[in-house]
Amino acid sequence: MTGRQLTRTGLAALAAAAVAATVFAVPAQAEERPTVRHAATQQAFDTLVKSGLPGVTGQARDAKGVWKGASGVGNLKTGKARGKDDRFRIGSITKTFVATVLLQLEAEGKLDLDDTVEKHLPGLVTGNGNDGSTITVRQLLNHTSGLYNYTSSPSFTERYFFASGFFENRYTSVAPETWVKEAMTQPPNFTPGARHEYSNTNYILAGLVLEKVTGDSYENQVRKRIVKPLGLTATTAPGDSPRMPKPSGRGYSVLADSPTTVKVYDVTELNPSVAWAAGDMISSAGDLNRFFSALMRGKLIPNEQLKAMKTTVSGYGLGIATDTLGCGVTLWGHGGGIHGSGSSALTTEDGRHTLAYNVNGDWGGDGDPVGAEFCGTKAKKGTSAKGSATLTGTGFNSGFADGFTRR
């Protein structure tokens, strides 16, 4: 396996062919007639499925109400349609929840964004030039710490991105400190604060800081401070549970065992400690819309903390990203990728127009739901499954598994 490389671009094309050839052609789900306002979004969902993804589910909210859409299937074996209210793994959208709790704690005077990691987690970030006394909580949240991304390590790739390793380790529970230690085997990528570079290690540490400050689990703090106050009935931080709550579809991955052939695997069951506070949460499109709308409207953190959250480096703030579409609409939000799942949650700055959606395959496809929903543009061939080219980079879709190279 060593030395063999297979990029996600190549996997995307092979996966689309694999779904069609080895399972069956996936039809677009029969839908009730969409309103004119969201017809382009539904078309974009259908285009994703026609290009080889199993299924899509999503919801949009604006001043005129709520629209739900779906296309394709939630189960390739049975052909069951993708549900409009499905729950799914949200991957790195988890980071926005974690950042929100830490900003609440700052507003309460329980920590400062410019506290060092060493202050809260003494002796954890050290070795090979890594130094927690030179990295702040703020730098964890905006990915300017310089810390190596543990999900990019060759050993992690072998264990979780190759089929043989994945099926051996999928139910294994791993302590978050283990991932920090994995990152510490490598020197930092740059001096803290020098630039932005996405690293899941940052949010493993952010979760540990959160727990140290509160004396409580990260999962319980998210539940207490966000999930319950907003009435998010489909949102959970599942801990070590590998099961998906109902209703939900199956999740499919191409993994990587050969540079020329791809098999589509059912990877629905997964111990989410592989991602923990960097990407383990489960939610629905409706809950994500409610969360991001409340966040941008100042319902979860005071104005001072919201301003800090929206202060960006290379388009990324504190657990949230921003970009302006070609039609002039500025969006805020995040994206997330984890085995068998790719999600996006986006909102206008006033929180009054939101879109969240999920694909239950972890490869790309044609279609642009983001441009369709916010600009009214039709889907175009060659457009990423997760939005415009800018939105799919270090922005909304810097997901848990995004950007890695399979070796």
Query: What is the residue extent of each domain of the chain?
Result: 8-375
Rounded mean pLDDT, 13-38 = 47
Q: Residue 377 — very low, low, confident or very high, per pLDDT cuts 50/70/90?
A: confident
pLDDT at position 17: 39
pLDDT at position 117: 99
Q: Quick check: 34 pLDDT over 90? A: no
Q: Which residue has the higher pLDDT, 10 or 35?
A: 35
pLDDT at position 116: 99
Q: Quick check: 350 pLDDT over 90? A: yes
The identity of residue 142, as a single letter, is N
Q: Which of 51, 71, 92, 253 is catalytic?
A: 92
Helix/strand/coil (H/E/C) assignment for every residue in 194-260: CCCCCCHHHHHHHHHHHHHHHCCCHHHHHHHHHHHHHCCCCCECCCCCCCCCCCECCCEECCCCCCC
Give CATH for domain 8-375: 3.40.710.10
Place of tokens 């004396």: 215
Q: Which residue has the higher pLDDT, 355 or 25?
A: 355
Place of tokens 């062919």: 17
Q: Which residue has the higher pLDDT, 404 or 239?
A: 239
| Entry pTM | 0.89
Q: Quick check: 393 pLDDT over 90? A: no
51 is a catalytic site residue: no
Q: Quick check: 346 pLDDT over 70? A: yes
Find how far residue 63's CA is from the centre of its chain: 26
pLDDT at position 262: 76
pLDDT at position 365: 87
Cβ count within 10 A of residue 385: 26
Distance CA 27, CA 41 (A): 17
Q: Quick check: 283 pLDDT over 50? A: yes
Residue closest to 71 by CA, chosen among 85, 86, 57, 88: 57
Rounded mean pLDDT, 18-43 = 58
pLDDT at position 404: 33
pLDDT digits (tens, 9 = 90+) for 76-135: 999 999 999 999 999 999 999 999 999 999 999 999 999 999 999 999 999 999 999 999
pLDDT at position 364: 84
Q: Which residue has the higher pLDDT, 395 or 76?
A: 76
pLDDT at position 37: 75
pLDDT at position 33: 52
For the CA atoms of 37, 39, 44, 48, the dihedral, rounded to the nearest 10 degrees, stands at 140
Rounded mean pLDDT, 311-322 = 98
pLDDT digits (tens, 9 = 90+) for 177-222: 999 999 999 999 999 999 999 999 999 999 999 999 999 999 999 9
Q: How far is CA 80 from CA 16, 27, 76, 251, 254, in A?
A: 19, 11, 7, 13, 20
- The helix or strand, by DSSP H or E, that contains position 60, with its residue range, turns out to be strand 55-62
Per the prediction, the chain carries an average pLDDT of: 88
Rounded mean pLDDT, 316-335 = 97
